[in-house]
Structure 1
Amino acid sequence: MAFLLTSEFVEHIEQLIAQKDGNALKELFLDFHFADFAEVLEELDSDDATYLIKLLESEITSEALMEVDEDVREKILDRLSPKEIAQELAEMDTDDAADVIGELDEDIQKKVISKIKDEEHAADIVELLKYDEDTAGGLMAKELVRVKETWTIAGCVREMRRQAKNVTRVHSIYVVDKEDKLKGRLSLKDLLTAPEKARISDVYIPKVDYVTVHTEGEEVARIMQRYDLEAIPVVDDHGVLVGRITIDDIVDFIKDEAEKDYQMAAGISSDVEADDSIWLLTRARLPWLVLGLFGGLGSVYIMKGFDEAISNYVELFFFTPLIAAMAGNVGVQSSAIIVQGLANDNVKGSLFKRLLKEVGLALINGIALAVLVIVFGYIAGLDQRVAFTIAISMLSVIIVAALVGTFVPIILNKKGIDPAIATGPFITTSNDIFGIFLFFYLSKIILGF
């Protein structure tokens, strides 16, 4: 049965903390899942949450610290000594420990690392901090099970038992040579059915998917998704096995990237949350609002250049929002499909064919919408020349907007810029300007003013 956090339960915990009833709290959280405990921590104030972290065993609290929101974790860590933080890190996998310690100031990092009793664990954490957090090196954990190709099956089993003590979940068994270079993987079935005196070199599978420490996180996600991998080994520039990335790590990475792309598409330039300070939220939103402002001023300037059209055909003015809206909507639709395709590595082949396909799609949609405009103009008693002008202009605007929405994300991607930027105010504003200019320019040609 799923855990349901209620206000009454939170109040009960707060009362026990106020009474300093440590025994009752330990008993209460004895069989708690760390994810449920993390939910409790997020509902408490920072002092109460820190009290629980200090009170309970690190085996429980370390997992919960990884589940809580980053802001909550930061406030808790600020209230812990370097020694207490080191105790929490000692119970974490190296990748999680590196993520946590990476959030601390450099001087605190050094103090915490010096307090970690397991020197090998500390060294592994320091090594992971060297890599960019969005690469395989930054995502990997050092904990894994590796066996030498020269070992016998019996010797392999003994060594695996020793190594598995430090590995939370054994997804795969990796085979390396005497220099620790990755050679392949070992099937558990083959291990169990092979004769004890047989050597690993006789039964291991040489074909294994892997990534290097420098592989981008998005590429790691694509490989794991394509081949349905629960874990993937990571090697250095010399082919030496240095770690592994598990499915839970890559899911967290995908979730974080999706949140960033969603914010960028909404016109927010930084990774912010609703409870951040007004200054941070303003700094994240204002640049895009300024872009929208200049885009709007550009549209005003364009309309001012066609004041004669508005004087002679005032109906055109009332259809301006329609043209701008259609340009923005079509551009966002096209760019969203392309950005999604780029993220999934599905946008391949000739750019010309891609643009031709998008033009064809825009032509079909544009003709259908243009017909509806003409019908509307007839019903509303609009001058048919004006209705025809609006229809033709809208058709042209839709085609141009589709081309811009397709072309811009692809170009940004080739230039190494996140194409998600093309699904937000950038593409909407640019298409608004193009749309309004094209609308009045074609109207001038057709109506002859």
Structure 2
Amino acid sequence: MGFEITKELLEDVKGYIDTSNNKSLLALFEEMHHADIAEVLDELSFDEAVFIIKLLDSETTSEVLMDVDDDVREKILQKLSAKEIAEEVEELDSDDAADIIAELSEERQEAVMSQIEDEEHVKEIEELLAYDEDSAGGLMAKELVQVNENWTVLKCVKEMRIQAEKVTRVHSIYVTNDKGTLKGRLSLKDLLIASTRTPISEIYIPKVDSVNVDESGEEVANIMRKYDLEAIPVVDNEGLLLGRITIDDIVDVIKEEADKDYQLAAGLVEDVEADDSILELTKARLPWLILGLFGGLGSVVIMEGFESAMNSYKELFFFTPLIAAMAGNVGVQSSAIIVQGLANDNVKGSLWKRLLKEVGLSLINGLVLGVIVIAVAPLMHLSLQFSLTVSISMLCVIIVASLIGTFVPIILDKRGIDPAIATGPFITTSNDIFGIFLFFMIAKAFLPF
């Protein structure tokens, strides 16, 4: 059964804090996973969270800090001294340590780094901070098990024992040459059954997937997903082994990208959360709302241009929302499929084939929906001519909307713009305008006015 925060648990924690009952607090958190402790801290006040962070040992709190909400962590770090932060950072792997340091001001970064006693750890953190946070270099950790192809099995085992002390979890054993160039990986089974005098060069596996240090986090995620990897080595342009990225780091990348895409699709231009300030939420929402406003005004202008049609056939007014809704829905459906395909690197092959496929799909959907409109027209006391006009308009609108929904994300992706933007108000607004324009143009061609 998973961990669950109850009202009673929070009351106990708050009571122990109010009475400074440190012994009971430590006993309560002793058997609790660091991720569960972080969840508890997110439910407490800022001062209560700081109290617990300072109470627990550095090994525990270092892990807890990586799991608490970003805003909570930022506030907690502001309350900790440079020495206290350094103690937490020393317990973390280099990638997590670099993430913590990156959240501090330059002045605080220097103060914290000067308090870290392990000079090698400092050097590793400084190296990681030099990379873009969204690149493989920004995601990787320096801790790994690395052996030389010229070692014997006996020396390899001895060196691995020394290296493993600094590695939280050994996912793979990487083989390099004297220059540090990645040559392959070593199977634990092959290592165990080989003679102690056997050179590593005779038993290592030369085939190993790796990523360049400048590769984007999304591309790393795609590679690890495709090949079902728990960890992947990172190399530079010369093939030198620099570090490794593990699956837990990639899960965070996937979650962040999913959150970003969801917010873009919802019409939010910035990464925001429910408890952000009114100003921040307004800045994130207002731009797309302004776009929607101008899109709506554009639709009004189009309808004004067909005022004579509205006077002759008042029914056109009542069917305008239907056409706009169909255009928006079809466009969002098409763009959502393409955006998902682009994210998973599944959008390949000829664009013309995709064009024909979308046209064929739109024809089928449009014909089915058109037949339904014609079938219910008598119940609404509409003439056959008018119902045919609506059906043909709907068919054309669906085709155009699906093509826009298909090609806009592809064009945005080719220009380096996040295609997820095409699944939100952008595609809906543009298709509304095109849909209404097509509806009245077709009505003008088929109806006498």
TM-score category (smaller protein) = over 0.9
Aligned counterparts of 1:298 and 1:99: Cα–Cα separation in 2: 46
Report the equivalent of 1:105.
105
One-letter amino acid of the structure 1 residue matched with residue 350 of structure 2:
S
Q: Which residue of 2 aligns with 1:351?
A: 351
| Aligned counterpart, 1:174 | 174
Superimposed CA distance per residue, residues 44-81 of structure 1 (whole angstroms, 9 cap, x where no aligned partner): 11111111111111111111111111011111111101
Aligned to 2:96: 96
Task: Give 1:420 shift.
Answer: 0.3
Corresponding residue number in structure 1 for 2:225: 225
1:11 alignment counterpart? 11
Whole-angstrom distance in 2 between the partners of 1:196 and 1:116: 39
Moved more, 24-33 or 433-442: 24-33
Alignment correspondent of 1:39: 39
Q: Which residue of 2 aligns with 1:444?
A: 444
Give the partner amino acid of 1:347. Answer: V
1:215 positional shift: 0.6
Structure 1 residue ranges without an equivalent (≥5): none
| Cα offsets for 1:316-375 (capped at 9, x unmatched) | 010000000000000000000000011111110111111110010001000000111111
Secondary structure of 1:242's match?
Answer: strand
CA distance in 1, matches of 2:397, 2:23: 70
In structure 1, what is the Cα distance between the partners aligned to 2:171 and 2:145? 9
In the TM superposition, what is the alpha-carbon distance from 1:411 to its structure 2 partner? Answer: 0.5
> For the residues of structure 1 that align with 2:52 and 2:122, how far apart are their CA atoms?
25
Residue type of the alignment partner of 1:140:
M
Measured after TM superposition, the shift of residue 18 of structure 1 is 1.8
Please tell me whether residue 30 in structure 1 is matched to residue 34 in structure 2.
no
Residue type of the partner of 1:78? Q
Is 1:262 aligned to 2:262, yes or no? Answer: yes
- Tell me, in whole angstroms, the C-alpha distance in 2 between the residues paired with 1:103 and 1:150: 42
CA separation in 2, counterparts of 1:338 and 1:43?
39
1:158 — aligned with what? 158
Structure 2 equivalent of residue 432 of structure 1? 432
In structure 1, distance between residues paired with 2:28 and 2:408: 56
Give the letter aligned to residue 436 of structure 1: I
CA shift, 1:156, in A, is: 0.4
Secondary structure in 1 matching 2:12: helix
Residues of 2 paired with 1:255 and 1:191: CA distance?
A: 37
Residue type of the alignment partner of 2:335: S
1:406 aligns with 2:406: yes
Alignment partner, residue 148 of structure 1: 148
- 3-state SS in 1 of match to 2:232: strand
Give the Cα–Cα distance (whole angstroms) in 1 for the partners of residues 235 and 142 of structure 2: 11
What SS does the aligned partner of 1:29 have?
helix
* Corresponding residue number in structure 1 for 2:292: 292
Amino acid at match of 1:165: E
Q: Partners in 2 of 1:272 and 1:326 — Cα distance?
A: 30
Instruction: Give CA deviations for 1:352-404 in whole Å, capped at 9, x if unaligned.
Output: 11111001000100000011111111222112111111110011000000000
Name the structure 2 match of 1:380: 380
2:293 and 2:171 map into 1 onto residues whose CA distance is 53
Letter of the 1:407 counterpart: F
Match of 2:278 in 1: 278
**Shift, 1:248, TM fit:** 0.8
* Alpha-carbon shift at residue 27 of structure 1 (Å): 2.2
Larger deviation, residues 13-22 vs 116-125: 13-22
CA distance in 2, matches of 1:27, 1:364: 65
Separation in 2, partners of 1:380, 1:185: 72
Say which is worse superposed, 286-295 or 53-62, in terms of deviation.
53-62
Give CA deviations for 1:157-201 in whole Å, capped at 9, x if unaligned: 011011001111100000011111101000000000100001110
- The aligned runs of 1:335-374 (5 Å cut-off) are 335-374=335-374
Q: How far apart are the structure 2 equivalents of 1:438 and 1:3?
A: 55
**Aligned positions, number:** 449
CA–CA separation in structure 2 for the residues paired with 1:181 and 1:137: 17
2:52: which partner in 1? 52
Residue equivalent to 1:65 = 65
More deviation in 131-140 or 316-325?
131-140
Distance in 2, Cα, partners of 1:318 & 1:44: 53
What's the offset of the Cα at 1:84? 0.6
Alpha-carbon shift at residue 311 of structure 1 (Å): 0.2
Q: Following TM superposition, by how much is the alpha carbon of 1:24 offset from its aligned partner in structure 2, in angstroms?
A: 2.4
Partner residue in 2 for 1:239: 239
Structure 2 residue identity aligned to 1:430: S
Q: Residues 263-303 of structure 1: CA distance to partner in whole angstroms, max 9, x if unpaired?
A: 00000011110000000000000000000000000000000
Structure 2: gaps of 5 or more residues = none
Residue in structure 2 matched with residue 419 of structure 1 by the alignment: 419
TM-score, structure 2 length as denominator?
0.99
The residue matched to 2:273 in structure 1 has which SS? coil
Distance in 1 of aligned mates of 2:399 and 2:2 = 51
Return the offset for 1:9.
1.5
Give the counterpart letter for 1:412 in structure 2. Answer: L
Q: 1:146 aligns to what SS in structure 2?
A: strand
Q: Which amino acid aligns with 1:351?
A: L
- What is the CA distance between 1:4 and its match in structure 2? 2.3
**Percent of pairs identical after alignment?**
67
CA distance in 1, matches of 2:366, 2:386: 17
Corresponding position of 1:206: 206
| Deviation, structure 1 residue 217 | 1.0
Over the aligned positions, Cα root-mean-square deviation in angstroms equals 0.9
| Correspondence 1:62-141 to 2 at 5 A | 62-141=62-141
Match of 1:187 in 2: 187
Residue aligning to 2:329: 329
Structure 1: which amino acid aligns with 2:122?
A: A
Q: What SS does structure 2 have at the residue aligned with 1:204?
A: coil
SS in 2 for 1:158: helix
Moved more, 82-91 or 17-26: 17-26
How far apart in 1 are the matches of 2:384 and 2:338?
37
